[in-house]
Amino acid sequence: MDRDSWVSNVGFVLAAVGSAAGLGNIWRFPWLTAENGGSAFLVMYLLLVIGVGVPGLLAELVLGRRGRQTPIGALRTLIGSRWGTPLGAFNVITTVVMLSFYSVVGGWILRYTLLAPTGAYFAQPQQYFRHASHGLPAVGFHLLFLTIVAIIVYFGVSRGIERVSKIMLPAVVVLLGGLAIWTATQPNTAAGYAFYLDFDGNYLATHFFDVLGPAAGQALFTLSLGAGAMLTYASYLDEDVSLPRDTLVIAISNTVIGVLAGLVVLPLLFSQGISPGQGGPGALFVALATAFGSLPGGALVATVFFFTVLLAAVTSGISLLETPVATLVDNYGMSRRRATLLMTLVIAVTGSGLALAGPMFRFVSGPVVDVMLTIGLFAFLAIVGWILRQDAVAEFQRGAGRLRGFATPWVLAVSWVLPVVVMFLLTTTLASLASLSLATVMRVAIAVFATLICRTAVTRTTHDDAGYSNR
Sign (positive or negative) of CA dihedral 259, 262, 263, 264: positive
**Residue with smallest beta-carbon separation from ligand PHE:** 24
How far apart are alpha carbons 55 and 36 in whole angstroms?
25
Applying CB under 6 A, the span of 154-162, 223-231, 392-400, 415-423 interacting with ligand PHE comes to: 223-231
Cβ-based neighbours of 84, under 8 Å, separated by 6 or more = 72, 73, 74, 75, 76, 77, 78
Residue 308 in the binding site for ligand PHE (CB under 6 A): no
Query: Which SS3 state, helix, strand or coil, does residue 470 take?
Result: coil
Write the DSSP symbol of residue 365.
Answer: I
Q: Exposed/middle/buried for 406, CB within 10 Å: 0-12, 13-18, 19+?
A: middle
Number of residues that bind ligand PHE (CB under 6 A): 15
Nearer to ligand PHE, 102 or 203 (CB): 102
Residue 19 in the binding site for ligand PHE (CB under 6 A): yes
H or E stretch including 369?
Answer: helix 369-382
Nearer to ligand PHE, 22 or 160 (CB): 22
What is the four-CA torsion angle of 74, 79, 85, 90, rounded to 10 degrees?
-80
Residue 224 in the binding site for ligand PHE (CB under 6 A): yes
Applying CB under 6 A, the span of 15-23, 143-151, 164-172, 186-194 interacting with ligand PHE comes to: 15-23
Alpha helices in 277-368 (DSSP H): 280-294, 298-332, 336-356, 358-363
Nearest C-alpha neighbor of 165 from the set 321, 310, 318, 57? 318
Applying CB under 6 A, the span of 23-31, 119-127, 197-205, 278-286 interacting with ligand PHE comes to: 23-31
Residue 104 in the binding site for ligand PHE (CB under 6 A): no
Applying CB under 6 A, the span of 133-141, 159-167, 170-178, 217-225 interacting with ligand PHE comes to: 217-225
Q: At closest approach, how far in Å is the CB of 303 from ligand PHE?
A: 21
Q: At closest approach, how far in Å is the CB of 161 from ligand PHE?
A: 13
Query: Which SS3 state, helix, strand or coil, does residue 315 take?
Result: helix
Residue ranges in 43-102 that form contacts with ligand PHE under rule CB under 6 A: 98
Write the DSSP symbol of residue 274.
Answer: -
Residue 24 in the binding site for ligand PHE (CB under 6 A): yes
The per-residue DSSP string of 101-163 comes to: HHHHHHHHHHHHHHHGGGTTTTSSHHHHHHHHHSSHHHHHHHHHHHHHHHHHHHT-IIIIIIH
Nearest C-alpha neighbor of 327 from the set 6, 57, 95, 59? 95
Q: At closest approach, how far in Å is the CB of 106 from ligand PHE?
A: 10
Nearest C-alpha neighbor of 73 from the set 331, 321, 323, 328? 331
The correct pick among 15, 16, 23, 231 for binding ligand PHE (CB under 6 A) is 23
Residue 422 in the binding site for ligand PHE (CB under 6 A): no
Q: What b-and-e string marks burial along 429-454, b requiring 16 or more CB atoms within 10 Å of the CB?
A: bbbeeeeeebeeeebeebbeebbeeb
Residue 227 in the binding site for ligand PHE (CB under 6 A): yes
Applying CB under 6 A, the span of 17-25, 141-149, 392-400, 403-411 interacting with ligand PHE comes to: 17-25
Residue 319 in the binding site for ligand PHE (CB under 6 A): yes
Nearer to ligand PHE, 204 or 284 (CB): 284
Nearer to ligand PHE, 189 or 308 (CB): 308
- Rg of the chain on CA atoms, in Å: 22
Nearer to ligand PHE, 34 or 458 (CB): 34
Phi, psi for residue 335 in degrees, rounded to 5: -75, 155
Cβ-based neighbours of 100, under 8 Å, separated by 6 or more = 347, 350, 351, 353, 354, 364
Applying CB under 6 A, the span of 51-59, 81-89, 221-229, 336-344 interacting with ligand PHE comes to: 221-229
Q: At closest approach, how far in Å is the CB of 20 from ligand PHE?
A: 5
Applying CB under 6 A, the span of 6-14, 18-26, 114-122, 140-148 interacting with ligand PHE comes to: 18-26
Applying CB under 6 A, the span of 19-27, 33-41, 324-332, 334-342 interacting with ligand PHE comes to: 19-27
Q: At closest approach, how far in Å is the CB of 22 from ligand PHE?
A: 3
Residue 320 in the binding site for ligand PHE (CB under 6 A): yes
Cβ-based neighbours of 178, under 8 Å, separated by 6 or more = 304
Q: Exposed/middle/buried for 239, CB within 10 Å: 0-12, 13-18, 19+?
A: exposed
The correct pick among 41, 221, 270, 307 for binding ligand PHE (CB under 6 A) is 221
Residue 172 in the binding site for ligand PHE (CB under 6 A): no
The correct pick among 33, 222, 331, 365 for binding ligand PHE (CB under 6 A) is 222
The correct pick among 36, 113, 308, 316 for binding ligand PHE (CB under 6 A) is 316
- Contacts with ligand PHE by CB under 6 A lie at 19-20, 22-25, 98, 221-222, 224, 227, 229, 316, 319-320
